[in-house]
């Protein structure tokens, strides 16, 4: 099947499976990540390989289907694998796509899964997802997710957790939305895998720092 046909079907799958998610992890997020990933891939010199570009695009499109934060039925964890098989994606590409999706999460980095050798397609897709988690869009998504989980906006008595393990990160009890900036979002700039991702992360990171400075001044009545 032609790549564009598979991509179109992947887009339809994203819209169908993520329809019930809040706006922090909806289809629009996925499409932004796809566009970012393709743009980063061009900057990183991957465009000379059509196979690499197909892997990047499909991994970016399918990366949040079956996300543990939204899984409503255990069968959802197999949706991506089944889709790739049904669309006739050859095994080597299929394994690369599934490998990228499995290892790209922040919780996996905490567990050390992404600290060794990784293919260039992995760095591009992971960086794209992380870029969408920071900057102005990242701020909006952070508060959208916190609100959807009825999380406390900010409480100076609840301090951000440090040196988190994968298991601790996945447990969100008694955490505030603002603490998520310190526990994850402000760390992402230094975890970018590609030169292109590092360049783009600088501006977005600085925006978050300025936002938090203003937030704390307003919270304390100093602004």
Place of tokens 């743009």: 39
pLDDT of residue 161: 86
pLDDT, average across residues 130-139: 98
Alpha-helical regions (H) of the chain: 3-17, 27-43, 50-62, 79-86, 91-103, 106-110, 120-131, 135-148, 166-170, 177-183, 195-219
pLDDT of residue 164: 73
* DSSP helix/strand/coil, 103: helix
Question: What mean pLDDT value characterizes the chain?
Answer: 91
pLDDT, average across residues 87-97: 96
Q: Name the nearest CA neighbour of 9 among 71, 79, 68.
A: 79
Q: Name the nearest CA neighbour of 37 among 124, 131, 132.
A: 124
Contact 193/123 with Cβ under 8 angstroms?
Answer: yes
pLDDT of residue 172: 58
**215 burial via Cβ count (<10 Å: 0-12, 13-18, 19+):** middle
pLDDT of residue 223: 86
Tell me: pLDDT of 114 over 60.
Answer: no
pLDDT, average across residues 153-164: 90
pLDDT of residue 11: 98
Tell me: pLDDT of 191 over 80.
Answer: yes
Instruction: Bin 168: left if φ > 0, else alpha if -120 < ψ < 50, else beta.
Output: alpha
**Cα angle value 79/138/47 (rounded, 5°):** 60
Reported confidence tier of residue 67, pLDDT bands at 50, 70, 90: confident
Tell me: pLDDT of 116 over 70.
Answer: no
**Cα angle value 118/130/193 (rounded, 5°):** 30
Percentage of the chain lying above the pLDDT 90 cut: 77
How far is the C-alpha of 132 from the C-alpha of 120, rounded, in Å?
19
Contact 89/3 with Cβ under 8 angstroms?
Answer: no
């Amino acid at each position: 099947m032609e790549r564009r046909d598979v991509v179109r079907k992947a887009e339809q799958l994203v819209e169908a499976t993520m329809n019930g998610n809040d706006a922090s992890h909806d289809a629009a997020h996925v499409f932004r990540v796809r566009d970012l990933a393709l743009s980063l891939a061009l900057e990183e010199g991957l465009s000379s390989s059509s196979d690499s570009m197909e892997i990047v695009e499909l991994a970016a499109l399918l990366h949040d289907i079956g996300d543990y934060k939204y899984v409503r039925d255990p069968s959802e964890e197999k949706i991506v694998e089944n889709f790739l098989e049904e669309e006739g994606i050859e095994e080597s590409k299929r394994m690369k796509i599934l490998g990228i999706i499995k290892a790209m999460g922040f919780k996996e980095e905490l567990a050390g899964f992404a600290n060794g050798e990784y293919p260039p397609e992995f760095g591009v897709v992971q960086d794209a997802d992380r870029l969408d988690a920071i900057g102005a869009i990242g701020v909006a998504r952070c508060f959208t997710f916190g609100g959807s989980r009825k999380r406390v906006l900010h409480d100076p008595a609840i301090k951000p957790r440090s040196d988190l393990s994968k298991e601790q990160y996945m447990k969100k009890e008694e955490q505030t939305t603002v603490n998520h900036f310190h526990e994850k979002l402000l760390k992402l700039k230094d975890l970018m895998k590609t030169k292109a991702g590092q360049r783009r992360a600088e501006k977005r990171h600085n925006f978050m720092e300025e936002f938090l400075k203003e937030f704390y001044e307003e919270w304390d009545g100093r602004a």
